[in-house]
Chains A and B, each alone.
Chain A
Amino acid sequence: MSDAVIYDRGYRSYEGELAGRSGVRKAIVKDGIRRILGLRRKARRKILPWGLLGIGVLMAGIFIGLQFVAGSISAAIAEGLPSYPQLFDVYSRISLLFLAVTVPELIGPDRSQGVISVYFSRPMSVLDYLGGKLVAYLLMASSIYLIPQFAFHLGRAALSDDGFLSYLGSNLDILWKILAATLAFVLVHGGLLAVISAYVDRTAFAAATFLGILIAGGAIAGTVAEAAFTGARYFSFLAFDGHARYVRDWVFDVDLDQYAPETAGFSPWVSALSIVVIALVGALWVYRRYRRLA
């Protein structure tokens, strides 16, 4: 047997197939998902995302368990229990925290640690980069809202006296309602977080800024929108979170609370449009910022 040792393998140029720009975009999406979940990062980076996810799944389990226990006693009691919009309300608060602490990780460290100078030296454009990050965000943010909701939906179907398939068939409308409400939250939070993350380097500061804007915006909107001066009602547009909650209530046809846009007399369509505008302005703003940085 030879006892030869390789001290130097030298260097070989890469001769294999290249995946092209679609491969590059996929790599950015994959990296984005890993960043949000803290995968391939130190253990402490996993605590918050996985902890909040765990709480989310636990809440879905509790809601299904309540339905099961109450349903086994009396169908009337089960009818009176919190359902989809209430679960959505609980979820939107958990998700808010989840997105606040994970989304800044998507783009902030690349910029603050100077890594984008390496990324943009690769065969990709700013649109490839931001597009990949956006897809990663949409996939993760939507999943966090949708998976527990669908789990709850399937749980209710399994407990239904009408039978599993019959329940699913007669409650198809709930699917688009879940999707529409999810979209409202994902867009408005995503738009705000993207702009903040494009400027604030530290994740904790970005998360605090985001939550601060939501709280302060809601407070200003709630206070000023009802004032007596002309145009006061337009301050209700500052209730960023209120727009999403107003749309959710509208979609699920419930009235869980009073929101500033509603109090100011705006229809839910105006809030839906505001959400789209916030998302588009956020996307354009971040694009312009990164065009300069690239």
Chain B
Amino acid sequence: MSEPVVSVRGLTHRFGDVVALTDLDLDVPAGVTGLVGANGAGKTTLLRVLLGLVHASAGSATVMGYEVSADPIAVRSLVGYMPEGSCIPKDQTAADFVSFAAELAGVPPKDARRRASETLFLVGLEEERFRYLGDFSTGMQQRVKLAQSIVHGPRLVLLDEPAAGLDPAGRAQMLSLIRRLGGFGINVIVSSHVLTDIEDTCDSVVMLAAGRLIRAGALSGRSLAPTISVEVIERGRDLADHLASRGFEVSLAEHTLLVTDPSDDAFDAIRDAAVELSTGILRLGRSAVTLEDEFLASADS
């Protein structure tokens, strides 16, 4: 397994009496990672700790091999950041702003201009790059924010709620851009409280609730693990016992059975069992445990 891009040990952060992060232990692998949690879960605080903008009350964080508290400047030279809130100078053109963002990362002025043009082309703003940012729509401003975060060629990009405030089309475009960044070999940590966005975009996920880590791991093969949902008219308990005796893992809630980890002949087995028990099936179909189901279950527990 490759080195984690972010490694966190015993990380705690307090704002006065409020504990924002509690004893986090975490390794973020290379690729596109989703950072999910409700509002106030500690996502933005974690990103700011990783940038060295907030000093953790306890514990340590390592980004791309650099200890954040020891060398925040080295960390920031390898990282790009897209804040959640507005960070657009309305009286500058997109090209000037993105170019200046590159210069602030140490890119010489001439290269910075060229990189700004290329990056704005990538995010689909090549025609608008000489327009003033105050005249941009929310979607265009979000794309400029993304452009400034990658213009200097970072190895890791931290995106804080990049799709916030976007309409469905804009949201889809932004998520598509983020997926492409992963394809270009840029490691991405993208925070969001919209779990479907994370499911569609990321390779792995980190879940936070009230500043605590509730889950971290790969997404692949997890949310698509097939489960069969069976809604019966009666004798649900008998059907569950029957299927369990045949080796299926079954859970029952009122008249609905969830048959997980089923074999290829699961549908046939369910049909046969229903015939045998003379019970009617109202609904039979595949279901998947979504990230949202998992998040809610984890948060509840």
Q: Do A and B bind each other?
A: yes
Q: Name A's B-contacting residues (CB within 8 A).
A: 8-21, 23-24, 27-28, 31, 40-42, 45, 109-110, 113-115, 117-125, 294
A119 touches B104 (CB 8 A): yes
B185 touches A41 (CB 8 A): no
A115 touches B104 (CB 8 A): no
For the complex, give the distance between the alpha carbons of A117 and B115 in Å. Answer: 21
**Complex contacts, A9 vs chain B, CB 8 Å:** 118, 121-122
For the complex, give the distance between the alpha carbons of A114 and B82 in Å. Answer: 12
A120 touches B122 (CB 8 A): no
B73 touches A124 (CB 8 A): yes
For the complex, give the distance between the alpha carbons of A121 and B102 in Å. Answer: 12
Q: How far apart are A205's CB and chain B's nearest CB, in angstroms?
A: 17
B103 touches A10 (CB 8 A): no
For the complex, give the distance between the alpha carbons of A31 and B150 in Å. Answer: 20
Mask, B68-84, CB within 8 Å of A = 1, is: 00000110110111010
Q: Known contacts A14-B153, A15-B153, A27-B103; is A121 also within 8 Å of B122 by CB?
A: no
Interface residues of B in 8-57 (CB under 8 A from A): 51, 53
- 20 A–B contacts from the bound complex (CB under 8 Å): A9-B118, A11-B119, A11-B181, A13-B184, A13-B186, A14-B102, A14-B107, A19-B108, A23-B103, A24-B105, A24-B106, A27-B103, A40-B93, A109-B89, A113-B90, A118-B101, A121-B51, A121-B81, A122-B105, A124-B73
**Complex contacts, A15 vs chain B, CB 8 Å:** 153
A23 touches B108 (CB 8 A): yes
A124 touches B89 (CB 8 A): no
Closest to A120 in B: B53
For the complex, give the distance between the alpha carbons of A52 and B115 in Å. Answer: 36
For the complex, give the distance between the alpha carbons of A66 and B150 in Å. Answer: 58
Q: How far apart are A201's CB and chain B's nearest CB, in angstroms?
A: 13
**Is B152 part of the binding interface, using a Cβ–Cβ cutoff of 8 Å?**
yes
Residue among B83, B85, B181 facing the most chain A CB atoms (10 A cut-off): B83
Q: How far apart are A113's CB and chain B's nearest CB, in angstroms?
A: 6
Q: How many residues of chain B get a CB closer than 8 Å to chain A's CBs?
A: 48
A117 touches B85 (CB 8 A): yes
Q: Known contacts A15-B153, A121-B51, A294-B53; is A23 also within 8 Å of B86 by CB?
A: no
Q: How far apart are A132's CB and chain B's nearest CB, in angstroms?
A: 10
Mask, B148-159, CB within 8 Å of A = 1, is: 101011010000
Q: How far apart are A181's CB and chain B's nearest CB, in angstroms?
A: 34
**Complex contacts, B119 vs chain A, CB 8 Å:** 11
B122 touches A10 (CB 8 A): yes
Q: How far apart are A274's CB and chain B's nearest CB, in angstroms?
A: 36
For the complex, give the distance between the alpha carbons of A14 and B184 in Å. Answer: 12
Since A12-B118, A117-B87 are in contact, a sample of 20 more A-B pairs with Cβ atoms closer than 8 Å, ordered by chain A residue number, is A8-B122, A13-B153, A13-B185, A18-B106, A23-B103, A24-B106, A40-B93, A109-B91, A113-B87, A113-B90, A114-B86, A118-B83, A118-B145, A119-B104, A121-B76, A121-B80, A122-B101, A122-B105, A123-B76, A124-B76
Closest to A122 in B: B104
Interface residues of B in 164-190 (CB under 8 A from A): 180-181, 184-186
**Is B65 part of the binding interface, using a Cβ–Cβ cutoff of 8 Å?**
no
Q: Known contacts A31-B100, A113-B87; is A123 also within 8 Å of B51 by CB?
A: no
**Is B199 part of the binding interface, using a Cβ–Cβ cutoff of 8 Å?**
no
Q: How far apart are A31's CB and chain B's nearest CB, in angstroms?
A: 6
B73 touches A125 (CB 8 A): yes
Q: How far apart are B239's CB and chain A's nearest CB, in angstroms?
A: 53
Closest to A23 in B: B106
B73 touches A123 (CB 8 A): yes
A11 touches B83 (CB 8 A): no
For the complex, give the distance between the alpha carbons of A124 and B152 in Å. Answer: 14
**Complex contacts, A122 vs chain B, CB 8 Å:** 76, 101, 104-105
**Is B111 part of the binding interface, using a Cβ–Cβ cutoff of 8 Å?**
yes
B83 touches A123 (CB 8 A): no
